[in-house]
């Protein structure tokens, strides 16, 4: 009997499953990965054998760098655990979605006279949390979700299922440097609002205007928003809690702050009753 913890391609064993890599299409071998990049395939991540340097490997790394595809240097044992085939020191996973360029989205929204509402996720690593956040974002009118190239959840079949298909509806932008992205948005006139426990300002105080161009930053499940991103925020808000547990699940917290943003925008547009609002 085939073990449920192993992964098979056809009837052939190709190594143990891991939760993040399950249900993702895999490419192995230096040349096949290069051809996939040249053909415009969107790759989620590339694992390359540590210390491997030759002309073909350098070509792969150059293409990956040019296309902002995350590359992880790993011991050969890691690659052998992923597949027992001749991987030549490289394994890649094809992304389940296509990523969108953030600058084009922001420019297009301003040109159409719209006020962008963006959601920036700092190191959200749990796949199901990410999927749930994407579902919230789609329901609350978010124009794009921004994630880092490294340190975030892989977008696989579980993420898409948890999002109820929202990841096929809301543009996702994968950025190589979130610090530069935040600076770009500030220069473009987008206010940065950090949802964090490290502030005395409550969401219920109504001190932040979400009607204007806004990017909401949500932090990781473990330690919240990175300090370098927090100091760039124009406003910091916490969600007041009455219970004994000190924090909310990040997907729940995201839904709450996005609802406040949506409510303000609806009132500004004259839609006082949600039941009469026609989704854009």
Task: Compute the distance between CA of residue 151 and CA of residue 214 in angstroms, rounded to an integer.
Answer: 23
pLDDT-flagged residues of the chain (< 50): 1-22, 274-280
Residue 169 has what pLDDT?
Answer: 95
Which H or E run includes 216? strand 214-218
pLDDT score recorded for residue 10: 29
Choosing from 47, 71, 94, the residue where a domain stops is 94
At 23 the pLDDT is: 53
Collect all residues with Cβ–Cβ distance below 8 Å to 128 and sequence separation of at least 6. 158, 159, 162
**Domain check: are 144 and 265 in the same one?**
yes
CATH number of 142's domain: 3.40.1280.10
**How far is the C-alpha of 60 from the C-alpha of 71, rounded, in Å?**
10
Instruction: Point out the domain boundary residue: 30, 65, 94.
Output: 94
- CATH code: domain of residue 87: 3.30.1330.30
| Rounded-to-integer distance, Cα 160 and Cα 137, Å | 13
From 135, 122, 139, 141, select the one nearest 167 (Cα to Cα): 135
Q: What is the pLDDT of residues 237-263, one digit of tens each?
A: 999 999 988 889 999 999 999 999 999
Q: What is the pLDDT of residue 7?
A: 35
What's the whole-model pTM score? 0.82
In whole angstroms, what is the distance from residue 132 CA to residue 134 CA? 5
Of 77, 94, 111, the position where a domain reaches its end is 94
Task: Check the CA dihedral 237-243-247-249 and report its sign.
Answer: negative
CA 193 – CA 235 distance, rounded (Å): 5
């Amino acid at each position: 009997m085939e073990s449920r913890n192993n992964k098979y391609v056809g009837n052939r064993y190709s190594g143990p499953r891991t939760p993040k890599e399950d249900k993702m299409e895999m490419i192995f071998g230096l040349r096949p990965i290069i051809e996939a990049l040249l053909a415009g395939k969107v790759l989620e991540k590339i694992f390359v054998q540590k210390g491997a340097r030759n002309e073909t490997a350098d070509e792969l790394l150059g293409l990956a760098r040019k296309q902002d595809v995350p590359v992880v240097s790993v011991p050969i044992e890691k690659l052998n655990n992923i597949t027992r085939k001749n991987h030549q020191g490289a394994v890649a996973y094809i992304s389940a979605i296509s990523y969108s360029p953030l600058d084009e989205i922001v420019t297009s929204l301003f040109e159409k006279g719209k006020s962008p509402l963006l959601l920036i996720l700092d190191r959200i690593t749990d796949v199901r949390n990410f999927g749930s956040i994407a579902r919230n974002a789609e329901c609350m009118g978010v124009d794009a979700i921004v994630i880092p190239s490294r340190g975030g959840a892989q977008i696989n079949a579980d993420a898409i299922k948890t999002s109820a298909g929202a990841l096929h509806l809301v543009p996702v932008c994968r950025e190589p440097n979130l610090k530069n992205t935040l600076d770009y948005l500030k220069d473009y006139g987008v206010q940065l609002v950090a949802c964090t426990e490290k502030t005395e300002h409550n969401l219920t105080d109504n001190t932040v205007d979400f009607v204007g161009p806004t990017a909401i930053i949500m932090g990781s499940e473990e330690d919240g928003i990175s300090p370098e991103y927090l100091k760039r925020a124009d406003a910091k808000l916490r969600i007041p809690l009455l219970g004994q547990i000190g924090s909310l699940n990040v997907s729940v917290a995201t839904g709450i702050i996005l609802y406040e943003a949506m409510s303000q925008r609806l009132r500004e547009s004259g839609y006082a009753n949600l039941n009469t609002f026609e989704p854009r």
